[in-house]
Amino acid sequence: MSNDASPWNLGGLTLRGLARRVWRAIEKDEISDRAAALSYYFLFSLFPALLFLTALLGLLPVPDLMDRFMSYFAEALPDDAASVVQKTLTEIIRGAHGGLLSIGMLGALWAGSNGMGSVMTALNVAYHVSETRPWWKRRLIAMALTIGFALLILTALVLLVFGPRLGSALAGWFGLGTGFMAAWNVVSVLMVICFVLAGIALVYYLAPDARQHWWWVTPGSAVALVLWLAMSFGLRLYVTHVANYNATYGSIGGVILLTLWLYLTGIVLLLGAEVNSEIEFAAAQRGDSTAKLPGEHVPGEHRPRRRRAA
């Protein structure tokens, strides 16, 4: 693929032109309504997915890794919503012995992939394509995406936890000073961001029923990550300093906050997909043969073929 076809060329659009197209796509593709549907599936898939991730964490000989994971998860959520997740997950793990938890890992993977299946449906809308894959292939892709995304997040988590220790060990072995440790801390954070971006890119690559080109980082995945971090931070500030959901809604305040966070997460995820699809549509409209027009499963599917000269 040529450099001209890179998504970072924005399909020949300016940032303002891309923003206008994405804004129109948000209304046309009913992003708000589809994010509400995603939040419903996410809510019922969250705890099976966390149970599956818990089983993966248990395979690593790392003490207190699950506690570290939950602490990072709690930093992304408002306090009341995080307490609901932690309490429910603790009760699930406490009520199941090791054998049941291992057997239930497959069931958790199946249930957790339901949320990924709803993402696949929503991304088909972003590319204006109908679903043509058989149900078993959709389910296998959803499960593969769930496993792949979980492994990438797990790798990022391990790097967050052990990054400083690994940097200290390397500095001791090679006799490096504090300058190396400062550079290592920056590099390790960048690596964590790259793993998360790769997870999002994997979803954007495999989820829609359209042939995609693989890019480690796309404008859509970068936008999705930045907006998700800003959204989570902003929601925490809003709940901490402006709204008291527990005082307003009582014991269900945490559940409402969790659902709101999942809804906003769905909006961010779909918005990133819309950014990628609009860039590709613009590239195809400018004559790029490697890009797809709206509704095309493969490039050139709906374009007339040129007749060869006799």
Contact present, 244 and 256 (Cβ < 8 Å) = no
163 token code pair: 């990054």
How high is the pLDDT of residue 249? 61
- Asked if the model's pLDDT at residue 8 lies above 70, the reply is yes
Report residue 269 as tokens.
Answer: 């995820």
Q: How many CB atoms lie within 10 A of CB 164?
A: 13
* Exposed / middle / buried, residue 161 (Cβ in 10 Å: 0-12, 13-18, 19+): middle
Q: Are 59 and 242 in contact (CB under 8 A)?
A: no
Q: What pLDDT, on a 0 to 100 scale, did the predictor assign at position 308? A: 47
For the chain, give the number of residues.
310
Highest average pLDDT, of 8-12, 55-59, 86-90, 301-305, comes from: 8-12
- pLDDT band of 1, cuts 50, 70, 90: very low
The pLDDT tens digits for 213-237 are: 888 889 999 999 999 889 888 887 7
The pLDDT assigned to 302 comes to 64
> Pick the residue with more confidence: 97 or 275?
275
Rounded to 5 degrees, what angle do the CA atoms 59, 63, 67 make?
95
Task: Write out pLDDT tens, residues 26-81.
Answer: 989 889 898 998 888 888 777 777 776 666 666 666 666 667 767 766 776 777 77
Cα–Cα distance, 194 to 232 (Å, whole number):
19
**Residue 2's pLDDT is what?**
46
Q: Is residue 278 very low, low, confident or very high in pLDDT (cuts 50, 70, 90)?
A: very high
- The C-alpha atoms of residue 222 and residue 201 are separated, in whole angstroms, by 9
pLDDT at 223: 94
pLDDT surpasses 90 at 270: yes
Highest mean pLDDT among 56-60, 107-111, 244-248, 267-271: 267-271
pLDDT at 137: 92
Nearest to 76 by CA among 246, 257, 203: 257
- Work out the percent of the chain whose per-residue pLDDT is above 70: 78
Amino acid identity for residue 38 in this structure:
L
Amino acid 304: pLDDT: 61
Tokens of 62: 């790392």
Using 50, 70 and 90 to split pLDDT, how confident is the model at 309?
Answer: very low
Average pLDDT, the chain: 79
Rounded to whole angstroms, the Cα distance separating 140 from 160 reads 30
Q: What is the pTM of this model?
A: 0.80
CA distance 11 to 7: 7
Residue 103: C-alpha distances to residues 161, 184, 241 (Å): 28, 40, 43
Least confident of 88-97, 123-132, 143-152: 88-97
User: What is the enclosing helix (H) or strand (E) of 168?
Assistant: helix 135-174
Q: What is the reported pLDDT for 310?
A: 41
φ/ψ of 63, rounded to 5, equals -70, 140
Q: What is the C-alpha to C-alpha distance for residues 10 and 218, in angstroms, rounded to an integer?
A: 10
pLDDT-derived band at 24, boundaries 50, 70, 90: very high
Average of pLDDT values for 119-140?
A: 91
What the block records as the tokens of 132 is 């043509």
d(CA 176, CA 102): 43
Structure tokens belonging to residue 159: 């790097």
Domain spans, the chain: 3-285
Structure tokens given for 177: 């000073």
How does pLDDT run across 179-205, given as a tens digit for each residue? 777 787 788 888 888 888 888 999 999
**Is residue 143 predicted with pLDDT exceeding 80?**
yes
Q: Say if residue 17's pLDDT is above 90.
A: yes
Residue 80 CB coordination number (10 Å): 20
Q: What would the mean pLDDT of 109-133 be, rounded to a whole number? A: 87
